[in-house]
Each structure stands twice: as structure tokens, then as C-alpha cells.
Amino acid sequence: MMDIDHFKKVNDSLGHQAGDRVIRSLSALIQRVSGRASDLPARVGGEEFCLLVCNETEKHIARLAESIRASAAAELVKYREEPIRYTISIGAYCVIPTADTDPVTLLKETDDALYKAKNDGRNRAVIISAVPSLR
């Protein structure tokens, strides 16, 4: 799960069209950096995005999250000749799902990781693993 840090400031200071540019920029960036057809990106709402990555290790997820985070921090969005820089916070939850895996729990754990990233200062990725061998 990814959230644009301080997104309200962009909308309040430059307007919603500028915010829309940032959202489109992040959407394209997620697709470009993830690079796998099997990864499933989605805009969850507002300035929040999700990327479902299957059949990968926690190490791969951590590298991918950091790559997306660093790419966003380096991204420059232009709006009416005004350069806009933004950062994102990322929370990831690594799990080997079973038939009993509860989707609500998956989202809650992922959301908890995202809020830890935000509470730890934003512009960072926090990975939580439910796989004992990966802890």
C-alpha cells in the first residue's frame, strides 16, 4: 500500500489539477518500476495506491518498495511551470496465503505497515512478514 505524503498541501497550495498530475505521475511510475505483467497495481482511493505482487520473496518486495519510493522522491512533476516534488510512504505485508486467509486481515496488516512508515517519518517503506522463515 502506498500513500502520497502531505498530498493535501499540493491540492491546497496548487489546486486539484496539480494534485491530479501527481496522482497520474505516481500511477505511471508504479507500473514502470514494477515492470511485471503479473503485478496488479490499483488506485485504492484519493492518494492511496496498492500493488499486489505474487510469488516473490520478502527481499524482492523490500527492493521493489524501495525502488518505487526512491523513484517517486526523484520524480519531478511540472504543473503550470511549477515543479512539484513528492514523496510516498509504503507499507507491505508478506504472507503465503491459504484458503483460510482473510482478505480483511491482509488489508489491516498492510495498512498497519503503511501507518508505521508514516509515523516513523514518512518517505520510507515498512515491510511486515507473516512468513516465519522470512522474519
Active-site positions read: 47
Separation CA 93–CA 110 (nearest Å): 5
Please answer whether residues 118 and 3 qualify as being in contact, where contact means their C-beta atoms are separated by less than 8 angstroms.
yes
CA-nearest of 123, 134, 94 to 4 is 123
Strands 40-45 and 125-129: unpaired
Number of alpha helices (DSSP H) and beta strands (DSSP E) in the chain: 4, 7
